Amino acid sequence: MEPTYLILLALGGIFLVGQAMSTIGQRTALPRVTLLLVFGIVIGDEVLNIIPPAFTNQFEIIAEMTLLMVGFLIGGKLTLPSLKNGMHKILWISISAAIFTVLVVSSGLMWFGLPNELAILLGCIASATAPAATLDVVQESGKSSTFSTLLVSIVALDDAWALLLFAIGLAVATSVSGHPSNGSTILIAIKEIGGALVLGFLIGFPAAYLTGRLKPGEPILTEALGLVFICGGLAMWLEVSFLIASITMGAIVANFAKHHEYPFHAIENVEWPFMVIFFVLAGATIELNELAEIGFIGIGYIICRSIGKILGARIGGQISHADNAVKNWMGIALLPQAGVSIGMALVASSYFPEHRQFLLTIILGSTVFFELIGPLLTRIAIQRASSAG
């Protein structure tokens, strides 16, 4: 076990550096997410190796707690007034961006000579995005524009589409490759999404009416955190998507708690420290050799995924009659990719153990790239779209 003073020194140092990164991010073109990831890389195993293992060993639980709060905050932005005039845009752009990413990546990798089943799997995994990084860039920008509101709403649906597409792709890939087919994969995805929606509703409705009663109109921080962590714990126990469950719960509270909106402000007060630790540890656990090993196919995956997101968002914007700023910049804003894609790669590798190393190398390497470059592109997209608007 690490000495207590090392853990305290690391924790204090990370918080202070996080504040410094936030200040630098406000004064430069680099978003604080990217700066925190780079700082994590520098103090992690790949460079200085000075972060206590006790920290990196707890990355999974810290990541899950952070994503639960992120999901709750994203859900809080899905209010009926904000969706009233943009729901058709949200649906068309999110679905189009997800489907075209699958099509472009799968067909592109097949053209590069990759076996059909691997191309299909990588195409489906490519449809996922990174809600934590995207939300933080939006919050950091301080721009409450139509574009940023639309972006957050689209990201809220991305996980659901990605899970469904991955389940379908996994069933197709097993059939194409001659592996023993497991038709239940689609049912499992439907259960994971549907169960998360039901759980979010079941917790969200009582929470909307019961919170904020001890101090009228002001539910306290313990109420908000209690709801978020109970929702996450039940979701994991029931084996449904905890991120979709927390988004759903946040949306229900935001729309039905007419007597207050404070739970979201309460979470925002503690979310940033968790985000700092989350992104620093994400950087510390990054293996840069994965980026060097992705090779020609990995570069092709990165290029095809970028084309798919940009093309899909543009076509969705065209169909939904979105303005030019949305059509031109939404796809670029959707490029961050993180943990969900790694989870899908692990599931795919359990079905195709002979391709485990290849799948994980491509996804881990590309995730490093999109984690570092994606937030910067999202920030540029928000700035340009807001200027155009």
Question: What is the residue extent of each domain of the chain?
Answer: 60-388
Q: Which CATH architecture has domain 60-388?
A: Up-down Bundle (1.20)
> What pLDDT, on the 0 to 100 scale, is given for residue 201?
94
- pTM of the predicted protein model: 0.81
pLDDT digits (tens, 9 = 90+) for 284-322: 777 766 666 677 888 899 999 999 999 999 999 999 988
Angstrom distance (rounded) from CA 103 to CA 296: 19
Q: Which residues of the chain have pLDDT under 70?
A: 1-2, 29, 142-143, 177-186, 212-220, 259-266, 268-269, 288-293, 339, 389
pLDDT digits (tens, 9 = 90+) for 32-45: 888 887 888 888 87
> What pLDDT, on the 0 to 100 scale, is given for residue 214?
60
> What pLDDT, on the 0 to 100 scale, is given for residue 104?
95
> What pLDDT, on the 0 to 100 scale, is given for residue 235?
92
> What pLDDT, on the 0 to 100 scale, is given for residue 305?
95
* CA-based nearest residue to 300, from 73, 77, 122: 122
